[in-house]
Structure 1
Amino acid sequence: MIEYLIGLPVWLLALLGGILTWGLTALGASLVFFFKTINKAVLAMMLGFASGVMIAASMWSLITPAINLAQEQGKIAWLVASIGLLLGGIFLYAFDKIIPHMHFGENHTTEGVKTSLSRTVLLIFSITLHNIPEGLAVGVAFGVVGLTGDMNQALMAAIAVAIGIGIQNFPEGAAVSIPLRQEGLSRKKSFMYGQASAIVEPVFAVIGALLVNSMQGFLPYALAFAAGAMIYVVVEELIPEAQEQATPTGTHFSTFGFLFGFIIMMVLDVALS
């Protein structure tokens, strides 16, 4: 199976990885057909879980390989990682300020350029914005395959990234579709919008893989860039929203969700790579 996958073009591998993460988002969004509301403690744990997975994936699957590759290329590893992380954060900050979106919080605060779009559309844009760095991370991870000495290990590491992000996308899909249902949308529309929020992941996965292969010397920067974008989303959006949802039931729900997510992604990465 692995030998067959190695023979595929990296853009196709990235596309398959992106489809996996999108598919699990759709599966999570389908929970709206069974539940109309979601317990705040459960939502807080879901958001914390997603945060833990993204932070662990950033560390083991992106930052550490970026540092190792930079050292192999004779670059100053800590400087390469720092530049990539910072650029990834700036990239998401710019998107935050340009793309109109609304946060899934009690106050429904809005960001981005002023627009007359409905609140529902703004909520969808918010989670779609979160999914861009996840798609890039999957694409960059698969883009490494064929550019390193151990192709089997690189492929298994990329698969671990796709599975980890897919796992955290399952509760994230529910965290999108169910609140949309509470906003007054039908179950069908809530599901369609919920799963559509992750359709950017296969697209940006392919983009990430193609960019890595066309600019191989920038691979360490690309890995760190994807990590920086993911960390920005976690610190700027997911953790604050998880903490807000946990109140007044207790922030320990989101904290333990974070720990579970971090551990699962760590185990996946170590076991598969």
Structure 2
Amino acid sequence: MSILVWIITTCIVGGTLSVVCAALFAFNNRTQNYLGGMVSYAIGALLGAVFLNILPEAINLTPNVAILSGTVLFGILLFFILEKLVLWRHCHHEHCEAHLTIHAEHGYDHGRSGMMIIIGDTFHNFVDGIIIAAAFLTDVHLGVVTALAIIAHEIPQEVGDFAILLHSGYSKLRAFQLNLISSFASVAGGILGYFTLQTMQSWIPSLLALAAASMIYVAVADLIPGLHKRVQLRDTLQQVVLIVSGVGTVWLMSVLMVE
């Protein structure tokens, strides 16, 4: 397949898969019990993709490692600011700030919170598409691994989005439709990234550094704190095993793609 076909296919399949899986978690009380495990696995996949694939590739491509490291640092600060401004809101568990605000209102908010989430998620997916394009333009196996990590963390995020939409007054069908439409913003981002980055190859290391920063931020600042709410030894061991499994999956994918 051509690189463009890889990008479009990955964005479509990845976006659809993450929304469908998230819907199964959000709409079924039984499957919600496994969400904590999904979050742990996503942490491993994100960190594995960053430290085993994305950063090594970015270092190989950049003429200045110090500037690349500074870009990662800048990216972490940037995503912190964006989250503070509610432009990029990740919600992975029932008792997050977004849910507490909605429950405190004792009723629907006529779609305001839901629409805010969809706008933020659309922007998020658009950026994910650009990141996937940058990864595929570097190397096909890096693109696949990056897409895998993005899908892994999209599922728990989309579960939170579904919950907010439902509490904001949307039906299950409408919530699913909005999330699915929002996910296709990654396709637009991927296509734009493909045609833009081909003529600006020097941007790719910086974009990979920003991709690494976004994944580090999501894993460390957004997902890991939620795991600390389960302090039992059994829960901790389960979390560690699933995190290692996420890292192992990325490593295995890298090995298979290289072969």
Q: TM-score range by the shorter chain?
A: 0.7 to 0.9
1:91 equivalent in alignment to 2:78: yes
Find the counterpart in structure 1 of residue 240 from structure 2: 255
Find the counterpart in structure 2 of residue 148 from structure 1: none
1:28–1:171 Cα contact (<8 Å) kept: no
Find the counterpart in structure 2 of residue 186 from structure 1: 171
2:111–2:165 Cα contact (<8 Å) kept: no
Matched AA of 2:219: V
When the two structures are superposed, what TM-score results if normalisation uses the length of structure 2? 0.76
Matched AA of 1:88: G
2:24–2:31 Cα contact (<8 Å) kept: no
Q: Distance in 2 between matches of 1:89 and 1:232?
A: 6
Q: How many matched pairs?
A: 246
Find the counterpart in structure 2 of residue 166 from structure 1: 151
Question: Aligned to 1:214, what secondary structure does the other structure show?
Answer: coil
1:44 equivalent in alignment to 2:36: yes
1:19 equivalent in alignment to 2:6: no
Q: Distance in 2 between matches of 1:117 and 1:182?
A: 9
User: In percent, how many aligned pairs have the same letter?
Assistant: 22
Find the counterpart in structure 1 of residue 184 from structure 2: 199
Q: 1:93: Cα distance to partner?
A: 2.6
Where do 5+ consecutive residues of structure 2 fail to align? 99-109
Q: 1:165: Cα distance to partner?
A: 3.2
Matched AA of 1:83: G
Where do 5+ consecutive residues of structure 1 fail to align? 111-115, 145-153
Comparing 188-197 with 81-90, greater Cα deviation is found at: 188-197
Q: Deviations over 1:60-108 (max 9, x none)?
A: 23100011122xxxx233x143023123223323322333547444554
Q: 1:182 to 1:25 in 2, by over 3 A?
A: same
Q: 1:134: Cα distance to partner?
A: 3.5
RMSD value, Cα: 3.4
Find the counterpart in structure 2 of residue 109 from structure 1: 97
Matched AA of 1:29: A
Q: 1:14: Cα distance to partner?
A: 2.2
Q: 1:180 to 1:250 in 2, by over 3 A?
A: farther
2:45–2:249 Cα contact (<8 Å) kept: yes
Q: Distance in 1 between matches of 2:118 and 2:30?
A: 18
Q: 1:272 to 1:224 in 2, by over 3 A?
A: same
1:57 equivalent in alignment to 2:49: yes
Comparing 124-133 with 195-204, greater Cα deviation is found at: 124-133
Matched AA of 2:162: S
Q: Distance in 2 between matches of 1:48 and 1:236?
A: 13
Matched AA of 1:68: N
Q: Distance in 1 between matches of 2:90 and 2:61?
A: 38
